[in-house]
Amino acid sequence: MSNYSSYIKPSISRQKYIDKLIPFIDKDIIKVLVGQRRVGKSYMMFQLIKHIVQNNPHAQIIYINKELSDFDFIRDNDDLNEFVSKNSGDQKTYLFIDEIQDIKYFEKSLRNLLATGKYDIYCTWSNAHLLSGDIAGHLSGRSIEVKIYSLSYKEFLSFHKLANDRSTLQKYLKYGGLPYLINLKLEDHIIFEYLRNIYSTILYKDVVSKQNIRNTYFLENLVKYLADNTGSIVSAKKISDFLKSQRTNISPQVVLNYLNHLTNALMIFKVSRADLVGKKIFESSEKYYFEDIGLRNSINGFRQPDISKIIENVVYNHLLIYGFDVNIGVSGNTEIDFVAKKNGEKIYVQVAYLLSEEKTIEREFGNLLKIKDNYPKYVISMDDIQGNTYQGIEQMHLRNFLTDFKY
Q: What is the pLDDT of residues 132-189, one digit of tens each?
A: 544 556 676 788 899 999 999 999 999 999 999 999 999 999 999 999 999 999 999 9
pLDDT top residue among 367 and 385 = 367
Task: Summarize the confidence of residues 12-21 as an average pLDDT.
Answer: 94
pLDDT band at residue 2, thresholds of 50, 70 and 90? low
Q: What is the pTM of this model?
A: 0.94
pLDDT top residue among 388 and 58 = 58
Q: Name the residue ranges covered by the structural domains of the chain.
A: 4-147, 153-404
Judged against a pLDDT cut of 90, whether residue 407 lies above it is answered with: no
Helix axes 188-201, 166-175, angle to 10 degrees: 30
From the list 308, 310, 287, the residue with the least C-alpha distance to 298 is: 310
Average per-residue pLDDT for the chain: 92
For residue 132, how many C-alpha atoms fall within 13 Å in the half-sphere facing its CB? 6
From the list 3, 18, 108, 109, the residue with the least C-alpha distance to 62 is: 3
The CA distance from 371 to 348, in Å, is 9
Could you give the C-alpha distances from 341 to 68, 69, 152, in angstroms and in order? 39, 42, 19
DSSP letter string over 130-188? TTSHHHHHHHTTSEEEEE--SPPHHHHHHHHT--SSHHHHHHHHHH---GGGGGS---H
Helix axes 166-175, 307-321, angle to 10 degrees: 90
* CA 96 centroid distance within chain: 21
Span 277-324, pLDDT tens digits? 767 777 668 999 999 999 999 999 999 999 999 999 999 999 999 999
Contact 172, 36 (CB under 8 A): no
Contact 130, 50 (CB under 8 A): no
From the list 323, 292, 393, the residue with the least C-alpha distance to 352 is: 393
Helix, coil or strand: residue 394: strand
Fold for the domain defined by 4-147:
Rossmann fold (3.40.50)
Q: What is the predicted pLDDT for the residue at 197?
A: 98
The H or E element containing residue 64 is strand 60-65
